[in-house]
Amino acid sequence: NAGVTQTPKFQVLKTGQSMTLQCAQDMNHNSMYWYRQDPGMGLRLIYYSASEGTTDKGEVPNGYNVSRLNKREFSLRLESAAPSQTSVYFCASSLGLAGLETQYFGPGTRLLVL
């Protein structure tokens, strides 16, 4: 039981390049999330998926797209990376969508955009 896994762990991109961050969970959770974490700003929600087949914008969605491939997998795509997207990205999952549910986080992807 691996919980939430993310790939890659580290990535360096040049401005304008694209990439996809992968996330998978094996807890049969319905809801999945993508956050970014920057120094002094806490975790900010980029996109979330309440259930398979649905996605919605969070607080900071600009410059990102997501795909809920199936119940297990939720990917985040940067179409044209910018230096402002340098951050640590966390994927999380929870059984349901509400403040009552515990979120389980992956180990993070550290992204540097030059």
Partner 1 sequence: SQKIEQNSEALNIQEGKTATLTCNYTNYSPAYLQWYRQDPGRGPVFLLLIRENEKEKRKERLKVTFDTTLKQSLFHITASQPADSATYLCALGHNYGQNFVFGPGTRLSVLP
Distance of CA 25 to the CA centre of its chain: 12
Query: Per CB under 8 A, which region of 19-27, 33-41, 66-74, 78-86 contacts partner 1?
Result: 33-41
Q: Which is nearer to partner 1, 58 or 63 (CB)?
A: 58
Query: Per CB under 8 A, which region of 12-20, 40-48, 61-69, 76-84 contacts partner 1?
Result: 40-48
Under 8 Å between Cβ of 101 and 31? yes
Minimum gap (Å) between residue 39 Cβ and partner 1:
9
CB atoms within 10 A of CB 60: 18
Under 8 Å between Cβ of 72 and 98? no
Minimum gap (Å) between residue 64 Cβ and partner 1:
16
Closest to 77 measured CA to CA, from 97, 96, 99, 61: 61
51 to 110, contacts with partner 1 by CB under 8 A? 56, 58, 90, 92, 97-100, 102-108
